[in-house]
Amino acid sequence: MKIVVIDGQGGRLGGLLVERVKARLPQARVYALGTNTAATAAMLKAGADFGATGENPVVRNVMDADGVLGPVGVVVANAILGEVTPAMAEAVGSCRAKKFLVPMNSCGVVVAGVEELPLPAYVARAVDALAGIFD
């Protein structure tokens, strides 16, 4: 199974997602797709099988992914900063894979209706939901 993890900025959340996916779904091939090299490096260090940076890797790799994980707030903030391009957003939104987005109440983004939890709890919930589609 092909799992894509997308992150930007420093890749902290992406790294946590990669670690949790590798622990919960050891058979998965995890693709770390960073909006910048720091994020990609952090996710590779966390154990991703493959890594790439930028628009083209995101557009190409979500097409045949079985699951996509990433942060909500960081994606919005990165879109504002220009790290997430319209082509990347369209590719993720239109790919056949189920998407698991981690809420991040940061960067001026508030996800209404989401309880306030520590980041590791959100990561656990996202990966458990992902794993549930393969059970």
pTM score of the predicted model:
0.90
Range 30-34 contact pairs with CB under 8 angstroms and sequence separation of 24 or more: 30/3, 30/4, 30/5, 31/2, 31/3, 31/4, 31/5, 31/61, 31/65, 32/5, 32/7, 33/4, 33/5, 33/6, 33/7, 33/57, 33/58, 33/61, 34/6, 34/7, 34/8
Q: Which CATH class is domain 2-132?
A: alpha beta
Any idea where the domains of the chain sit in the sequence?
2-132
Note the pLDDT tens digit of each residue in 104-123.
766 666 777 888 889 899 99
What are the pLDDT digits (tens) for 51-79?
Answer: 999 999 999 999 999 999 988 754 555 55
**Both structure tokens of 111:** 């996800």
